[in-house]
């Protein structure tokens, strides 16, 4: 008779433990790249507008795209670091990030469009 509430308490505890084990809600597998490949770079500038690049002499070498749900405050910072690491691996000198919120019922999903830039010397 009293096992029913204990079952729900155990299920709720399990749910909390699982959510703590996987604190980040973004998924790297949802990241796609289209573009050129260069030797890895040592530094990548992260900007949100083309006018914020270190120089106006550059070329676009590709695009990274990611779509998903960012729930926790730290998720965006972690995702931005992953994007910068990916851009560095692809040989970019900078990346220009554009964030587009996508409304799907009650969940706010995000789509990030990241343009990879190589500075022209």
Contact 64, 114 (CB under 8 A): yes
Contact by Cβ (8 Å): 39, 98 = no
CATH number at residue 62: 3.30.110.70
69 with 106: CB under 8 angstroms?
no
Question: Model's pTM, two decimal places?
Answer: 0.68
Residue 14 lies in a domain: no
28: in domain: yes
Residue 81, domain member (yes or no): yes
Q: Residue 32 domain-assigned?
A: yes
State how far the Cα of 113 lies from the Cα of 28, in Å rounded to an integer: 14
Q: What is the pLDDT along the chain (121 residues), one digit of tens a residue?
A: 555 555 545 544 444 444 444 444 445 457 889 999 999 999 999 999 999 999 999 999 999 988 777 666 677 788 888 889 999 999 999 999 987 766 666 666 677 889 999 999 8
Does residue 37 sit within a domain?
Answer: yes
- Determine, yes or no, domain membership for 51: yes
Q: How far is CA 6 from CA 12, 17, 19, 20, in A?
A: 10, 16, 20, 21
Residue 36: inside a domain, yes or no? Answer: yes
Q: Report yes or no: 120 and 69 within 8 Å, Cβ to Cβ.
A: no
Domain that holds residue 72: 24-119
Number of domains in the chain: 1
Q: Is residue 60 situated within a structural domain?
A: yes
**Strands laid side by side in the 58-68 sheet:** 31-35, 58-68, 107-119, 94-104, 45-47
DSSP line for 13-66: HHHHHHHHHS-----GGGEEEEE---SPPS--EEESSGGGSS-S-EEEEEEEEE
């Amino acid at each position: 008779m009293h096992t029913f509430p204990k079952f729900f308490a155990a299920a709720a505890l399990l749910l909390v433990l699982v959510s703590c084990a996987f604190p980040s809600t973004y998924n790297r597998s949802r990241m796609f790249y289209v573009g050129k490949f260069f030797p890895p770079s040592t530094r990548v500038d992260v900007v949100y507008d083309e006018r914020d690049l270190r120089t106006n002499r550059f070329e676009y070498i590709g695009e990274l795209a990611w779509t998903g749900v960012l729930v926790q405050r730290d998720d965006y910072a972690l995702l931005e670091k992953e994007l910068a690491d990916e851009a560095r691996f692809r040989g970019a000198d900078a990346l220009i990030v554009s964030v587009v919120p996508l409304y799907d019922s009650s969940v706010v999903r995000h789509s990030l469009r990241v343009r990879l830039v190589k500075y022209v010397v």
